[in-house]
Structure 1
Amino acid sequence: MLQFVLRRIAISALVLWAGSVLLYFLVVNSGDPLDTLRQSQATNREQQMAALTERMNLDEPWYVRYGMWFGGASKCLILACDLGTDRGGSDVNTAIVAAMGSSLRLVTLATVIAIVLGVAMGVLSAIRQYTAFDYTVTFVAFVFFSLPVFWAAVLLKQYGAIEFNNWIADPSVSLVTTLLIAIFFGLFASAITGGDMRRRGLAFGITAIILFAFITIFDSIDWWVQPALGPVLVLLLSAVTMAFFLMLTTGLRDKKVLITGGVTLAVGLVVYFVIQPVLNEPNWWLILGLAVSTVVVGGVLGYFIGGFEKRAAMTVGIGTALSFGFYTFFDKLLTNWGGYLDIAGRPISTIGSGTPNFNGNFYETIWDWSTQLLLPTIVLTIISLASYSRYTRGSMLETLQQDYMRTARSKGVSDRVLNTRHALRNALIPITTIVAFDFANLIGGAVVTESVFGWTGMGALFQAGLKAVDPNPVMAFYLVTGTAAVIMNMLADIAYASLDPRIRR
């Protein structure tokens, strides 16, 4: 395995080097960096041209300039990168570090969400092949797959930023809009529920009525400006999450696992009231410590209550505890939405990667960060969501048709165990390759997304360098994205080995 990884690293390094040579050659020959100064009428035009020529080494052949850049970039191996300066004399190292913080934050979050949702949709679609749910997921996946990035970004900017700011000035939902929302999600629930017409009609009716009731109540109490979940909704949402983890493990057949989930909910409800003063002014270290404590408590409850199903009980306990903690934190976050509106005012900033000199508390700062992260994240997520769902569906269907799956089913293994413990693990092996390439592709797609939403990330750095015929910023972008692609491929190889032990040999 080590020899294989080292060989892959060597090949990837060779490809990175060849790509850098080609890109540098294309950039320096894409235009004249002195063109703007040549058209200038300034009296010191010649001095400016001479200074820029000296700063960018324009009097040297392109391969000599590339050698200078490569010499500085190779120092990254000893963590002493020297990526030179841009045409204005600013340090590219400083610029790329700042840009990486914005772009990688955006791309990483979009990748994680796309993987979780895409794989879940693909698995359920394969298990319920040729049902209404399968057709619905297929339709949504192809719609997302066919959306041009720039068009989706512009639509979200219009309706998710401009129209939202108009609505939040006097937030209210009309009766017609409430009915349309309830009917839409009712139809969606009916499509994913499956079964006969009676069951699907029941799903439609329950979903539509509950959603209509909630929107009406929220509108009457002005929830859109002063939102909160409260202990009842936190408990209800945590119970739904517990049911999900039960479905993935033992179902309802093992009472001790079920009791573990119930005890975890009871403990969480007590902690909800006890921890409120602590959450008034937290920091990230406190949140991290509480999360670790939550995992420990859920695991301990599962270990001592689970009996013979300790592993399943610990999974249910930890999952339920973490969900209760998340909903508790989200409830506190919602209660600070009104304070954020008072500070931010209108229009709420949804363009850019952060509000300069924003002065708010812990939760209000998160809202400022989230409102600007939400829309570009959605754009990048839908780019990958369709691919993950379709590849997972195909891989899952192929795995379910294998002989060992039929053998396990003939031995009496339940469908839940077959799907979660056997089929899913083997079906994920091809997906690891897609994840590796998709992460690098998303960084490239972020160039367009960042441009539409005004993010000062690596996309802006790349575009500025390209327009100015300045190779150093462009090469810094390539260095980061190329290295990310290599690292993700290495992680894919390791994931292969962990998912399929045969590869280790």
Structure 2
Amino acid sequence: MFAYILRRLGALVVILFGSSFLLYNLSAISTDPIGELRLSDAPNKDQLILNLTRELRLDLPPPLRYFIWLRGVLGIFAGRADFGLTREQEPVLEAIMGAIPTTIRLVAVATLVAIVLGIALGITSALRQYSRFDYGMTFFAFLLFSLPIFWVAVLLKQYLAIDFNDFLVTAKMSPPWIIGFSIVTGFFWAAIISGSRRQVVLIFSGVFVANSIFLSAISATEWLSYPRLGPIGVFVIGVGIAVGVTYLSVGLSDRNALKTTLLMALVGTISYFPAQPILSSDRPRLGILLLFIALLIVSVSGALLFARVDRGPIIRTSVITSVLIGIFILIDRMMQAWRPYVESDDVNYRPVATIGQSTIWLSEVSFWVR
């Protein structure tokens, strides 16, 4: 076993060395650090080129520069690591250390979301094995898993950051986009709910029409510029959550569970009104805690009220419903801070930052903007 571990570690070192060597040399060959200086009109252009050549040791071939860089990196074992300098003459190690917290947060959130969604969809697919839902989730899982990460990252930055910022200026959706998104949504819900072929067609058609009308209304009213759910939106979403969670958890045939979750939709709507001043106070975290405690107490009490036997599944269904409704109440409160946020001079209608890893000024604004 010890020899096996040593072999694996040795292979890891070789792979790390080979990949870093290739990346370093490819990067060095494909870029020209003094290209901008060659086009400069500065009177001391030649001296600037000479200084930069000496600083970056550009007079040496890239493979040799790699080993010089590697010697500095390996100095980490002696307590004096030297990763070199950036183009702005700042230590690379400081830039790496500054990016580590953001990277850890990103990886942690992505891992948590992947675990929650993966387990939830996996359990649901197992309960509905060989159904359209199972086939649909399997298809999307393999599709997303097979996409190159770097390519997806470029697409996400382009469409969910740059183009999304441009879209928010007018917040208008074109008819082709509405139709395309409605088709995808129809296929998604038809795969989830499943049933006979006739039921699937009816579900797809209903979702397509409803989603088209919904998106058209959002575009016409410019809701994305002034987003808010309000008590009516919370109630409608709450009813949808109640029916959906009941269907996935115990089935709609369990009337006691359905009554309990629908009660939570009503209670969530009522709690919307006293929650607003509490969430807008100077202690919003306390308000969030009180909101969820109240919803959980009511959800358990409602489940005990309607369920006489087999209370466990009904309590679970009611608690999940109450938590989801509470989350949408918080989302509504965040939506209320949207317009002042995008209209501020720092954001200027481009809320998704595309340069840098953080927005420093956000530490000085309200809790709901952060």
- TM-score w.r.t. structure 2 length? 0.71
Question: Secondary structure of 1:363's partner?
Answer: coil
Cα shift at 1:327: 0.6
Equivalent-residue separation in structure 2 for 1:124 and 1:268 (angstroms): 26
* Separation of aligned partners in 1, 2:313 and 2:212: 37
Q: Contact 2:260–2:302 at 8 Å: present in 1 too? A: yes
**Closer, same or farther: CA 222–137 of 1 in aligned 2, 3 Å:** same
Counterpart code for 1:115: I
Aligned AA (1:323): L
Equivalent in the alignment of 1:353: 357
Paired residue type of 1:361:
S
Shift of 1:167: 2.1
**Alignment pair present for 1:114 and 2:126:** no
Partner of 1:309: 310
Q: Give the alignment of 1:181-220 within 5 angstroms.
A: 181-220=181-220
What's the offset of the Cα at 1:200? 1.4
Conserved 8 A contact 1:257-1:302: no
Separation in 2 of the partners of 1:25 and 1:270?
A: 62
Alignment of 1:38-437 (within 5 A): 41-42=50-51, 66=74, 69-70=76-77, 84=81, 86-87=83-84, 98-252=98-252, 256-281=256-281, 285-286=285-286, 289-290=289-290, 293-294=293-294, 296-298=296-298, 300-301=300-301, 304-305=304-305, 306-343=307-344, 344-351=347-354, 352-358=356-362, 359-365=364-370
Residue 125 (structure 1) shift: 4.3
Rate the CA distance shift 1:90–1:283 in 2: closer, same or farther, 3 A.
farther
Indicate how the Cα distance of structure 1 residues 269 and 195 shifts in structure 2: closer, same or farther if over 3 A, else same. Answer: closer
CA RMSD between the two structures: 4.3
Letter in 2 for 1:277: P
The answer to whether the 8 A contact 1:257-1:313 is kept is yes
Give the partner amino acid of 2:343: D
- Cα deviation per residue 1:228-263 (whole Å; 9 max; x = unaligned)? 111122122223323344345544555554443344
Residue range with higher mean Cα deviation, 297-306 or 274-283: 297-306
Deviation at 1:105, TM superposition (A): 1.4
Structure 1 residue 268 displacement after superposition: 2.1
Deviation string for 1:345-365 (max 9, x for gaps)? 144443233223245332223
Displacement of 1:278 in angstroms is: 1.6
CA contact 2:190–2:204 (8 Å) conserved in 1: yes
Paired residue secondary structure (1:362): coil
Number of aligned residue pairs: give it: 331
Please give the alpha-carbon distance, in whole angstroms, between the structure 1 residues aligned to 2:232 and 2:336.
Answer: 15
**Which one scores higher on RCO, CA 8 angstroms, separation ≥ 6?**
1
Measure, in 1, the Cα distance between the counterparts of 2:114 and 2:193: 22
Q: Distance in 2 between matches of 1:285 and 1:270?
A: 20
SS of residue paired to 1:316: helix
State the percentage of identical aligned residues.
29
Distance 2:103 2:151 in 1: 20
CA distance in 2 between counterparts of 1:292 and 1:71 reads 52
Counterpart CA distance in 2 for 1:329 and 1:355 is: 22
**Residues 245 and 315 of structure 1 are in contact (CA less than 8 Å); yes or no, is this contact kept in structure 2?**
no
2:263 & 2:147 partners in 1: Cα distance?
46
**Structure 2 letter corresponding to 1:69:** I
- Whole-angstrom distance in 1 between the partners of 2:294 and 2:232: 20
CA gap of 1:246–1:178, structure 2 versus 1, over 3 A, is closer
C-alpha spacing 1:265/1:167, structure 2 compared with 1 (3 Å):
closer
Partner of 1:482: none
